[in-house]
Chain A
Amino acid sequence: MSLELQLLWRSWLVRVAAFAALAITTAALLIGAAQVSRIDADLRAALEHDRAALIDAKARAAAAPLDAGMFGYDTFHAVPHPPGPGAWFNLGDTLAQPAVQRLRLLGLHGQVHDGTGGNPAARAVGAFDAAFVVAVLLPLLAVALLAPLAAEEREARRDGLLAALVASPRRFWARRIAARGLFVVLPVLLPIVVALIALDASLPFAAGVVAGVTLYAVGWIALCAGLALRWRGSSDAVAARLVALWALAVLVLPALGGVALDRPSPAVPGSAIALEHRDAVNTAWDRPKGETFDAFFVHHPEWRDTPPVTGRFHWKWYFAFHLVADRRVAPLIAAADDAKRARQQARDALGLALPTVALQNLFDGLSDQGIEGEAARFQAAQDFHDRLRVAFYPFVFEERPLTADDIAALPRPQPSARALRHRPAAWGALGAFALLGLGLLWRSARRLG
């Protein structure tokens, strides 16, 4: 084995490939970590400003109690959506979403969809993170190092000699493939392991990443080795075919799958939600106020016995029709969530055919990207908004001013609950891929013997 490793190390091509992979992986990890710490800093600054604004509001209310309706209309609260666990490894949607959602007492769906993450042009290119390196570069490395596996020997006319000299061809090839496999895995995995330790990743996350990378690598190494042993052409012909396979399986088909999955389960266009919500708010101004309150009391019967609004404007009516508008778009939101879930299922299914998709699903689960991470963001906003509304209703319905103590007692936003999510379908798909690769390799090796 060590002899095999020494032989490989002598090839400048192998050395260049290993160092390049090591450098690219390290760069991806550093950039990922820098992006996450930039977001963390933005988030801390936003929360700090939020706290300062609250202290300022309390001081103003201490001087003279504030009008609760005006305060609710004017005051924004920062709901944090911190990067998911190990986002430095797999940035996912981290940079596409705002890390802080600023909400006020108005309709949730008129504001929760507001805001942007970072530069859309950078999002369109795709993230440069370790997950990308593993998904794309690692199999390319396997192709480059394993394509010449058998053809090289044929070209050097050593194949006959090998067949005559080697007692157990299967053990010989196993050693050789293992040595090359190490040169594929280690340059990518070593920096990742260092980062997992240095950045204090949780054990389940670290174990998930290492296991995912290993399964994916075993699958690709075995697949490339199996095909390299089986195909009879010259080393460059084998390499060209493997590269074509890599391009299709890793980049073209996943991209095609992504585009194709947009068709059968179209998400509810956001514009429909925006138009509907706005229409609900606008028509409320022109409709009799009783209509709004009838709809509102369905959700909050406890305020049914409060006096009706006879004047042109009252805050309780204003906030009531914002809630009614939220409830009116609820079916659209539910339909959009269903569509997203259907897409996630389609992605799971696509992962069974395309290991790269399965790997992305797996990593997205580990670092809470994709639909669960997004749902956590909405849930945090929804929870806070609900608590804030309910806390404010006594003030606007009973026309009580807001004192400093009242402001101190208002609910505070909780960060979205980000956690490692298990994706059994992705594990199954990756396990099957590794086993299939090994099976192919086994059969190819048998034909040699």
Chain B
Amino acid sequence: MSAIVLVAANEARRLWRERLARTLGLLGLGLMLLSLLIGVVRDAQTAQRQADYAARAEADWQAQPDRHPHRVVHAGDFVFKTPGPLARLDWGVESQVGRSVFLEGHRQNTANFSDAALSGGLLRLGDLSPSIVIQQWLPLLMLLAGAAGVAGERQSGALAASLIGGARGAALLLGKAAALFGFGLLMAAPAALVLLWSAVSDPALAARALGLGGTFAAVLALAALGTVLLSSMARSVLAALLVGIVAWFALTSVAPRAAAALAELMHPAPSQAEVERRTALALAAVGDAHDPDSAPFAAFRQRVLDEYGVDRVEDLPVNFGGLVMLEGERLTTAAIGAEVDRQRDAWAAQQRLVAALGWALPTLAARDAAQALAGTDLAHHRQFLDQAERRRFATVQALNHLHATEIAALNDREQKLDASRWGEIPRPDFALPALREAAPSLPASLAALALWLLLGLIALIVVGRRLERRA
């Protein structure tokens, strides 16, 4: 153990003295700070903007005049998506998803107006979130700083000297990896502070913050292990560097893009037009609830008449038109939900495939875990959409209930309810789902990362022993 510490201290000293490593370290620290600034400001501004719109929509809702409850069903309501709880650290899919959903009767609308749609293409250049800096840029800087770690000593003969002098190969490599890991942690330290601040200011996020910190640490540890492994196996520093850069590029840039594209091709999702067309067909089968006398609701009418023990709808103690609205909304909501879910299920299957590839490509596992923990992945977005849909259904049914009980059947459409009633309609806010619920692939992704860490450590020890034998 003390040998490892000794080597680590020596390697740390080497990194500290080398101008290249110092420059790289400052560059990494600068990137980290810059990305945190971007992350914190973007998160706060987006949250504020969404809160402002939510307040405006709330005011619009409360300011509705006396209306027929079904008019209120059609007037509709808005929900606005605020960024995920740790979006300041990982922006995830936030740029790509619609930020507002219009809730109305008989329909399930899409989330519209993503930042990307309004940017005119700029966001395609990539993002610079703290999470991306840690997953992509710090590993590159660690590679550039650490590639010479073992290969350079081999070229100069220092490696053979220390091994002949009695140093254990495994301890040597572990020490160098530990120093490089420390180099990475130092650059990532500001992100740890923001994580800590997030957890302290909202203790409910402590588990997420801890997991995110652990994921970041695992990424940096893997980068350190990979760099030292390469450096000790390569013939020259240049070879270590070039092979390392190719591997880094393939893992951090090509793999996520290629995996996402392959997933889209392998689990094709129905297009929006297809979802809408099938939804229209399903709705036609349900029938139009605005026409309570229409054929699709004949059986329902009989059921209601039987239940109340009367022969004519006019004898019902409630408004049959309102009952049909309740029944129609129940049926259309289920029919629409089934079609909409076909697309979202396909997307979820695509994401599961990408996450499963994380067992082979640890960068995919890290990406998946970080976005899930930050609450900015597709699964969390779906939670938002699902909750918005449940809210829509609750709101519409409450209004339909008023229609059935407080609007007389005679001259139905000419009546209005007092505006004070709109305040009592349930319109629940978005509730952050538990991790278990929103991130089903998280345990697998974290396990994949742990497995890769273990494999890296074993490889390092094996390679270290082989170094000894060769010396």
Contact = CB atoms under 8 A, between A and B. Distances in A.
A271 B53 CA distance: 7
Nearest to B367: A125
Nearest to B67: A286
Contact of B241 (A113, A126, A239, A273): A239
Given A20-B246, A126-B257, A252-B128, A120 B114 contact: yes
B261 interface: yes
Which 7 pairs from chain A and chain B are nearest by CB? Answer: A270-B113, A128-B257, A122-B260, A120-B96, A236-B237, A100-B273, A255-B126
Contact of B378 (A119, A236, A279): A119
A270 B67 contact: no
Nearest to B104: A278
A27 B262 CA distance: 11
Interface string B107-128: 0011111111111111111111
A122 to B, nearest CB: 4
Interface in B194-242: 236-242
Interface stretch (B4-12, B140-148, B294-302, B396-404): B140-148
Contacts of A158: none
A353 to B, nearest CB: 13
Interface in A267-287: 267-275, 278-279, 282, 285-286
A273 B57 contact: no
A306 to B, nearest CB: 24
Contacts of B124: 92-93, 126-127, 258, 360
Contacts of B111: 116
Greatest chain B CB density within 10 A among A46, A259, A285 is at A259
15 contacts: A31-B261, A39-B271, A95-B264, A119-B347, A125-B256, A126-B124, A148-B238, A236-B238, A239-B241, A243-B245, A255-B126, A269-B99, A269-B113, A285-B75, A344-B120
Nearest to B262: A31
Interface stretch (A319-327, A367-375, A404-412, A424-432): A367-375
B261 A236 contact: no
A370 B121 contact: yes
B95 interface: yes
Contacts of A140: 245, 249
A331 interface: no
B377 interface: yes
Contacts of A170: none
A239 B271 contact: no
A270 B99 contact: yes
B354 to A, nearest CB: 8
A347 interface: yes
A46 B274 contact: yes
B338 interface: no
Interface of A: 13, 16-17, 20, 24, 27, 31, 34-35, 38-39, 42, 45-46, 49, 76, 78, 92-93, 95-100, 102, 113-128, 132, 136-137, 140, 144, 147-148, 234-237, 239-241, 243-244, 247, 251-252, 254-259, 261-262, 267-275, 278-279, 282, 285-286, 312, 336, 340, 343-344, 347, 356-357, 360, 364, 369-371, 374
Given A127-B261, A259-B127, A271-B53, 13 more contacts: A100-B272, A120-B378, A122-B263, A123-B96, A124-B92, A239-B242, A240-B147, A243-B140, A243-B245, A244-B141, A274-B100, A285-B71, A360-B125
A95 B116 CA distance: 12
Nearest to B259: A125
A278 B78 CA distance: 10
B423 interface: no
A369 B50 CA distance: 28
Contacts of B114: 96, 120
Greatest chain A CB density within 10 A among B42, B123, B272, B277 is at B272
B378 A121 contact: yes
Given A128-B261, A244-B144, A270-B113, A257 B125 contact: yes
Nearest to A267: B118
Contact of B264 (A49, A119, A147): A119
A232 B264 CA distance: 48
Given A46-B273, A98-B273, A274-B113, A247 B137 contact: yes
B24 interface: yes
Given A269-B49, A274-B112, A340 B120 contact: yes
Interface in B251-279: 253-254, 256-258, 260-265, 268-269, 271-274, 276-277
A27 B259 CA distance: 12
A286 B71 CA distance: 10
Contacts of B24: 240, 244
A269 B78 CA distance: 14
Contacts of A34: 265
A279 B102 CA distance: 12
B176 interface: no
Given A240-B147, A343-B122, A114 B109 contact: yes
A2 to B, nearest CB: 25
Given A124-B96, A125-B260, A98 B78 contact: no
B272 A116 contact: yes
Contacts of B268: 38
Nearest to B346: A119
Contacts of A118: 264, 269
A435 B261 CA distance: 36
A119 B261 contact: no
Interface string B143-172: 010011000100000000000000000000
B272 A117 contact: yes
Interface of chain B: mostly helix, strand, loop or mixed: helix
A271 B271 contact: no
Given A120-B96, A255-B127, A259-B38, A274 B102 contact: yes
Nearest to B127: A255
Interface of chain A: mostly helix, strand, loop or mixed: helix
A414 to B, nearest CB: 17
Given A31-B261, A124-B96, A240-B20, A262 B238 contact: no
B116 A121 contact: no
B65 interface: yes
Nearest to B141: A244
B358 to A, nearest CB: 13
A237 B20 contact: yes
B120 A240 contact: no
Given A119-B264, A235-B238, A312-B414, A98 B271 contact: yes
B240 to A, nearest CB: 8
Given A118-B264, A244-B24, A42 B122 contact: no
B125 A120 contact: no
B394 to A, nearest CB: 20
B60 interface: yes
Contacts of A92: 121, 124
A285 B258 CA distance: 51
A49 B378 contact: no
B330 interface: no
Greatest chain B CB density within 10 A among A45, A122, A256, A344 is at A122
B19 to A, nearest CB: 10
B391 interface: no
Contacts of A126: 124, 126, 256-257
B260 A128 contact: yes
Greatest chain B CB density within 10 A among A114, A118, A257 is at A118
B80 interface: yes
A241 B19 CA distance: 11
A31 B261 CA distance: 7
Contacts of B120: 267, 340, 343-344, 370-371, 374
Nearest to B121: A370
A147 to B, nearest CB: 8
Contacts of A31: 258, 261-262, 265
Interface in B72-103: 75-76, 78, 80, 92-93, 95-100, 102
B273 A258 contact: no
B460 interface: no
A96 B144 contact: no
